[in-house]
């Protein structure tokens, strides 16, 4: 084993020795520096390896042949080995990234760089307070030097502010150190903790000064203006070292000195950390400079980690592991992100659209964004999971709330940025620097993130049970993205089929239904993808991500797996949605609502863990005293996915603007994940007669109103896909309402609706999607007469509409019949009236879409339109077939469903006789007979109409009868334009965008708050120094409750 002293000896010896090499041999200098950094990395690596293998005890390394406290001692334990390894890896890779820059500046640059990395290692290893001070100073001086790699006014003034601030902070540390020595007689940290200093006021002040100065080095909000300037102006390679290396070392130093202090000081850390996390992210909202934004994000994340250190006394789980998971993610993602800003070369985030030309760079960026937010499969996901669970068990819900809120705010700006990169048009010429030494480090960290994520799952309870196979499949799909679309489509369908084959047979009960919707539905909706020519870069991996995520919801035994799947699904669907034309804002709002919802679910899981003490899904039914809150959180969380009123504003845009074959995926299938969640929630609440009666009652009303408003809004749309999207809101309102009744019939209806909505919404979106594909417009007034051009599509859509509207004989009618039975049985008459009214309105839009798209006159420019591609028709007709079968034989579906529900709701079941007639308490109904009778009636009426109208009068294209009214704009001549203006006048106020306005108001005010907060960063270095002093005093006052 190489003793860790050689990290210092190598770093310094080499730095000194580089002076021997003549200037012209700069490459030799560079190579030697790399070798040195690599050797340092190797030393920490081998120590880590030895600890992992043998569980050895931490080793102290004595210098000068004397034992501490008389001589300086270093410590190399498992934690130290890990942290130094991380620092050295960042150092090494950043050196690769900076290679051309360092070379250009020359030998001195390499020297200073080596010194910096060496000093960070010592900060981690040393156990001596004064030694810590010396190396803090080295760090700040070396950093101030490396600021000058790009020498201009900005870096100069940032470097000066940095130097001034850190020197002052080091001074504070020094005062603390010398007084500690005075009181404790030693500078050796372990000694000081062991002997325990006298509980004097002065002692606590001295410890406070030590602690606060390390906190200040970590740039707490708001005393961090100097730090932000450095992040913004330093060369990205240096910023990544500061964010990844320096911050890591300082965090470790904080962790190291905390045992000196009292319990009270831990609370200081928590609050300073949380305020930094929130404040920093808030200020990021309005930021448009990429690097400064990353600076805000960095400071925020570090704040979070500070607070986690402070939470140590409240957490039973090993805090080091939680910290490590979050730290590794932050370090790699942030370093990688900073490098990426160096690669892209434009620091205005709205100009990042240029990155699109290099999908692999986009992939890296996506990886970093998702890792920073804490999505699976990255380590921070597991870290945050465990953290929230632990905090919940100890009852610290306020902290949970703040952490989740901060994460959500961070998500706002990171996803906005990602959205710009994926979608925003930019006029700026691409100036992306993809030389290998720039991209290689970035790629390495992105890959590491996935790898460490896999490893990290085993550090946490239940993490090991995650099924990684599907994720490996997604990874392979990413790797195969260069293949043509049809090959990938086959692979995807095959993979999904295999997955379905694996899980579906194992399911029973309601899970089986949803497994079927998610996976078989996934396969069906993938089929239209065969129409795509070319490569369709990035589509298949993310589509698979969504389906796999949903599969995991089904598979999940533990809440961790469920949440893992939920987040995976959210990530995948986000990427699917943002692919659409003009989808940028909708995808963002989708993501934010989803994340907000996910965090509510997360918090509820925390409560469940606190109540039940285990991670299993069954824990949801033993919530403890906070059940009411937890179930409400769960319900709201899941309703963000089902787009209930108030939480629906993301849906119309997201579904309508998505690609033709994506809309059915996100509408027919994805929404059902929310329904599954609601079902799980209601089941956990304990079946029909549970103690939480208010929640279902409120949800019932909400469902009814959602149905009304959704349907009404659908009727007023000009955009065909938007119409369907609003109709989804309405339909999901029915489902919510039905489930909320908490009766057998209600659930039968709700689940039946889920199935039928899956089928007909898939048909409708595929049908209308095919029309949109052919006509290249969404506007119904630009369509018409498609019945002639696309008859097969028309038939499918017609059937879909009939099912939707609940017109006999198709299964939709069965749904209606059940529905009214259930309502009457439950006695929710007012709500029932609303539902009934909503049902009538549904006819309006059903007619509108059918009429405007397929009937009426064919437009001139559409003469050459062809029938929908066969790949669109196949799944539609498959679904249609199933609708037909179940319409004819509803008992085939409702009977087994009923028996599935029987254990939960034993009362009020339907009774089926031999002939397939269902009896409820109120009436009876036979699906087959309805089918026959309606069939006969249809044939008769059709025949009669056919005979009557053998000679219909053809109307010329522009022969419009407008009674003297002159059309102002061309589209007003179309019958379908503003079709229900009369109704709109009467009822439009219901659909007025009050809710959108409300959310806009919130976002505006939060942003404005962040904007006014950041005004404290006046740019004046002197003010920043003043902030530092003030910060010390204020924190002191708070921690002491006065002087």
Interaction residues for another protein, span 1-20 (CB under 8 A): 3, 5-6, 8-9, 12-13, 15-20
328 CB-near residues (< 8 Å, 6+ apart): 86, 379, 380, 452, 456
The residue (of 158 and 591) whose beta carbon lies closer to another protein is 158
Which 278-337 residues touch another protein, going by CB under 8 A? 283, 286-287, 292
The residue (of 206 and 485) whose beta carbon lies closer to another protein is 206
For the bound state, the minimum distance from the C-beta of residue 165 to another protein, rounded and expressed in Å, comes to 10
For the bound state, the minimum distance from the C-beta of residue 667 to another protein, rounded and expressed in Å, comes to 41
Which 1016-1035 residues touch another protein, going by CB under 8 A? 1017-1022, 1025-1026, 1029-1030, 1032-1033
- Does residue number 72 form part of the binding site for another protein (CB under 8 A)? yes
Q: Is 100 left (phi over 0), alpha (psi -120 to 50) or beta?
A: alpha
User: By the 8 A CB rule, do 764 and 850 touch?
Assistant: no
Q: Residue from 28, 35, 200, 1002 that binds another protein (CB under 8 A)?
A: 200
Q: Residue from 34, 42, 181, 836 that binds another protein (CB under 8 A)?
A: 181
- Does residue number 1009 form part of the binding site for another protein (CB under 8 A)? no
As beta bridge partners, residue 919 has: 911, 924
Which 138-167 residues touch another protein, going by CB under 8 A? 138, 141-142, 144-145, 148, 151-154, 156-160, 163-164, 167
CA dihedral 601, 604, 606, 608 (to 10 degrees): -130
- Tell me which H or E stretch contains 844: helix 829-849
The residue (of 286 and 424) whose beta carbon lies closer to another protein is 286
- Does residue number 69 form part of the binding site for another protein (CB under 8 A)? yes
The residue (of 154 and 356) whose beta carbon lies closer to another protein is 154
* Four-residue CA torsion sign, 170, 225, 269, 415: negative
Q: Give alpha helix (H) positions in 311-435.
A: 319-344, 359-373, 379-393, 397-423
Contact region with another protein (CB under 8 A), list: 112-120, 458-466, 706-714, 978-986: 112-120
Give the span between the Cα atoms of 701 and 680, in whole angstroms.
20
Going by C-alpha positions, the residue among 68, 114, 38 that lies closest to residue 122 is 114
Q: Residue from 1, 28, 35, 202 that binds another protein (CB under 8 A)?
A: 202
Which 212-271 residues touch another protein, going by CB under 8 A? 228-229, 232-233
- Does residue number 1041 form part of the binding site for another protein (CB under 8 A)? no
Give the span between the Cα atoms of 504 and 970, in whole angstroms.
53
Give the span between the Cα atoms of 693 and 741, in whole angstroms.
10
x/- map, 384-423, another protein, by CB under 8 A: ----------------------------------------
Lookup result for tokens 């004595």: 62
The residue (of 195 and 398) whose beta carbon lies closer to another protein is 195
As beta bridge partners, residue 188 has: 128
The residue (of 591 and 1035) whose beta carbon lies closer to another protein is 1035
User: By the 8 A CB rule, do 254 and 306 touch?
Assistant: yes
Q: Residue from 95, 168, 635, 732 that binds another protein (CB under 8 A)?
A: 168
Q: For residue 373, what are its two tokens?
A: 């937010």
For the bound state, the minimum distance from the C-beta of residue 13 to another protein, rounded and expressed in Å, comes to 4
Give the span between the Cα atoms of 51 and 293, in whole angstroms.
38
Give the span between the Cα atoms of 307 and 309, in whole angstroms.
5
Give the span between the Cα atoms of 919 and 916, in whole angstroms.
10
For the bound state, the minimum distance from the C-beta of residue 1012 to another protein, rounded and expressed in Å, comes to 10
- Does residue number 70 form part of the binding site for another protein (CB under 8 A)? yes
Give the span between the Cα atoms of 365 and 875, in whole angstroms.
35
Contact region with another protein (CB under 8 A), list: 175-183, 433-441, 519-527, 840-848: 175-183
For the bound state, the minimum distance from the C-beta of residue 68 to another protein, rounded and expressed in Å, comes to 9
Size of the site for another protein (CB under 8 A): 100
Phi, psi of 90 (to 5 degrees): -60, -45
Q: Residue from 1, 28, 66, 943 that binds another protein (CB under 8 A)?
A: 66
Contact region with another protein (CB under 8 A), list: 137-145, 450-458, 494-502, 914-922: 137-145
- Does residue number 207 form part of the binding site for another protein (CB under 8 A)? no
User: By the 8 A CB rule, do 273 and 305 touch?
Assistant: yes
x/- map, 448-477, another protein, by CB under 8 A: ------------------------------
Which 593-612 residues touch another protein, going by CB under 8 A? none
Report the chain's terminal Cα–Cα distance, integer Å: 51
For the bound state, the minimum distance from the C-beta of residue 163 to another protein, rounded and expressed in Å, comes to 6
Max Cα separation, the chain?
112
Q: For residue 152, what are its two tokens?
A: 């201009």
CA 216 to chain centre: 31
For the bound state, the minimum distance from the C-beta of residue 441 to another protein, rounded and expressed in Å, comes to 24
**Beta-carbon count within 10 A of 948 CB:** 9
The residue (of 127 and 312) whose beta carbon lies closer to another protein is 127
Give the span between the Cα atoms of 498 and 523, in whole angstroms.
11
Which 33-62 residues touch another protein, going by CB under 8 A? 61-62
The residue (of 159 and 677) whose beta carbon lies closer to another protein is 159
């Amino acid at each position: 084993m190489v003793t860790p002293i050689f990290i210092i000896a190598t770093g310094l010896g080499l730095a000194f020795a580089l002076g021997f090499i003549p200037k012209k041999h700069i490459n030799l200098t560079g190579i030697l520096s790399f070798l040195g950094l690599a050797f340092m990395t190797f030393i920490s690596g081998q120590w880590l390896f030895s600890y992992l293998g043998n569980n050895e005890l931490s080793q102290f390394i004595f210098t000068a042949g004397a034992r501490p406290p008389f001589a300086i001692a270093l410590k190399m334990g498992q934690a130290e080995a890990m942290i130094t390894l991380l620092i050295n890896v960042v150092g090494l890779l950043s050196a690769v990234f900076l290679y051309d820059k360092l070379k250009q500046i020359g030998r001195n640059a390499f020297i200073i760089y080596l010194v910096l990395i060496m000093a960070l290692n010592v900060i981690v290893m040393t156990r001596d307070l004064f030694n810590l001070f010396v190396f803090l100073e080295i760090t700040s001086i070396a950093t101030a030097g490396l600021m000058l790699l790009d020498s201009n006014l900005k870096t100069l003034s940032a470097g000066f502010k940095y130097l001034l601030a850190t020197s002052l902070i080091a001074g504070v540390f020094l005062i603390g150190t010398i007084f500690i020595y005075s009181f404790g007689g030693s500078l050796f940290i372990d000694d000081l903790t062991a002997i325990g200093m006298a509980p004097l006021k002065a002692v606590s002040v001295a410890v406070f000064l030590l602690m606060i100065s390390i906190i200040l080095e970590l740039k707490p909000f708001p005393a961090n203006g100097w730090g932000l300037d450095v992040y913004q102006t330093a060369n990205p390679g240096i910023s990544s070292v500061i964010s990844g290396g320096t911050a890591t070392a300082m965090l470790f130093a904080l962790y190291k000195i905390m045992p000196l202090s009292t319990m009270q000081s831990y609370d200081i850390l928590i609050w300073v950390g949380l305020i930094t996390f929130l404040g920093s992210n808030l200020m990021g909202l309005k930021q448009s400079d990429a690097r400064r934004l990353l600076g805000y994000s960095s400071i925020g994340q570090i704040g979070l980690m500070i607070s986690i250190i402070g939470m140590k006394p409240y957490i039973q789980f090993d805090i080091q592991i939680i910290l490590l998971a979050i730290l590794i993610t932050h370090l790699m993602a942030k370093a990688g992100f900073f490098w990426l800003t160096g690669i892209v070369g434009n620091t205005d985030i709205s100009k990042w659209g240029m990155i699109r030309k290099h999908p692999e760079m986009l992939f890296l960026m996506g990886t970093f964004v998702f890792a920073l937010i804490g999505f699976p499969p990255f380590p921070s996901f597991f870290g945050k999971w465990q953290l929230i669970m632990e905090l919940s068990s100890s009852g610290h819900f306020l902290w949970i709330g703040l952490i989740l809120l901060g994460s959500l705010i961070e998500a706002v700006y990171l996803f906005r940025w990602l959205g710009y990169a994926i979608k925003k048009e930019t006029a700026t010429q691409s100036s992306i620097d993809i030389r290998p030494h720039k991209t290689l480090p970035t790629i390495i960290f992105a890959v590491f993130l996935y790898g460490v994520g896999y490893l990290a799952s085993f550090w946490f309870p239940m993490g090991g049970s995650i099924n990684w196979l599907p994720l490996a499949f997604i990874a392979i799909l990413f790797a195969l993205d260069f293949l043509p679309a049809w090959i990938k489509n086959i692979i995807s369908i095959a993979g999904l089929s295999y997955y379905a084959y694996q899980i579906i047979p194992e399911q029973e009960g309601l899970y089986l239904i949803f497994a079927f919707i998610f996976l078989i539905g996934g396969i069906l909706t993938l089929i239209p993808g065969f129409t795509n020519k070319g490569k369709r870069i990035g589509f298949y991996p993310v589509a698979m991500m969504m389906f796999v995520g949903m599969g995991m919801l089904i598979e999940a035994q533990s809440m961790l797996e469920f949440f893992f799947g939920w987040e995976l699904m959210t990530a995948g669907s986000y990427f699917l949605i943002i692919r659409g034309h003009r989808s940028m804002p909708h995808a963002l709002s989708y993501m934010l609502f989803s994340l907000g919802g996910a965090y509510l679910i997360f918090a509820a899981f925390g409560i469940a863990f606190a109540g039940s003490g285990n991670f299993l899904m069954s824990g949801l039914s033993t919530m403890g005293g906070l059940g009411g809150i937890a179930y409400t959180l769960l319900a709201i969380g899941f309703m963000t996915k089902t787009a209930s009123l108030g939480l629906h504003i993301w849906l119309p845009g997201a579904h309508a603007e998505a690609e033709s074959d994506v809309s059915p995926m996100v509408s027919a299938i994805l929404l059902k994940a929310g329904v599954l969640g609601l079902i799980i929630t209601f089941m956990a609440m304990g079946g029909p007669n549970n103690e939480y009666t208010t929640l279902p009652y409120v949800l019932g009303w909400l469902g009814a109103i959602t149905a009304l408003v959704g349907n009404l809004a659908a009727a007023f749309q000009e955009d065909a896909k938007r119409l369907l999207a609003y109709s989804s809101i309405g339909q999901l309102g029915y489902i919510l309402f039905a489930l909320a009744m908490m009766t057998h019939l209600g659930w039968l209806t709700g689940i039946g609706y889920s199935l039928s909505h899956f089928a007909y919404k898939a048909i409708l979106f595929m049908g209308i999607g095919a029309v949109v594909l052919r006509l290249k417009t969404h506007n119904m007034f630009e369509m018409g007469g498609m019945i002639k051009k696309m008859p097969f599509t028309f038939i499918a859509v017609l059937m879909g509409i009939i099912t939707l509207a609940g017109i006999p004989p198709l299964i939709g009618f069965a749904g209606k019949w059940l529905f009214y039975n259930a309502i009457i049985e439950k006695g929710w008459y007012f709500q029932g009236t609303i539902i009934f009214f909503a049902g009538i309105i549904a006819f309006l839009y059903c007619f509108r879409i059918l009429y405007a798209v397929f009937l009426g006159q064919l437009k001139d420019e559409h003469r050459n339109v062809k029938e929908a591609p066969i790949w669109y028709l196949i799944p539609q007709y498959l679904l249609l077939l199933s609708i037909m079968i179940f319409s004819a034989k509803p008992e085939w579906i409702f009977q087994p469903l009923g028996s599935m529900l029987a254990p939960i709701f034993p009362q009020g079941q339907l009774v089926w006789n031999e002939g397939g007639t269902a009896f409820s308490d109120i009436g009876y109904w036979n699906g087959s007979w309805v089918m026959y009778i309606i069939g006969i009636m249809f044939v008769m009426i059709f025949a009669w109409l056919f005979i009557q109208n053998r000679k219909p009068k053809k109307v010329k294209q522009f022969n419009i009868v407008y009674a003297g009214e002159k059309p102002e704009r061309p589209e007003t001549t179309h019958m379908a334009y503003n079709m229900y203006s009369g109704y709109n006048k009467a009822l439009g106020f219901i659909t007025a965008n009050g809710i959108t306005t409300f959310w806009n108001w919130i976002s505006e005010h939060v942003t404005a708050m962040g904007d006014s907060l950041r005004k404290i960063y006046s740019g004046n270095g002197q003010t920043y120094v003043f902030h530092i002093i003030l910060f010390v005093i204020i924190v002191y006052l708070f921690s002491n409750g006065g002087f």
